[in-house]
Amino acid sequence: MKLRISSPEAQIRSLIGVRDFLRRLTDTKETPRIPREVRREARAIMRHYPPEHELRPLLNKLLEE
């Protein structure tokens, strides 16, 4: 797999997209056919994932350094 360097804003959008994807995995109505173990793992990761309004400033700060 070839790695591409993307813009800081694209990287931030990607990480926020991951958060949204994990949230959808935990929602049984939105994704009813997800195995229980996958749903459990997504919940465990989401437990420590900051909400978007906290995540975006953190990422901006990190990418500026």
- Rounded CA-CA distance 26/34 in Å is 9
3-state SS class at 39: helix
Q: What is the mean pLDDT of the chain?
A: 88
DSSP-assigned letter for residue 51: P
Q: What is the pTM of this model?
A: 0.75
1 pLDDT band, cuts 50/70/90, is low
Q: Which tokens sit at 36?
A: 């229980």
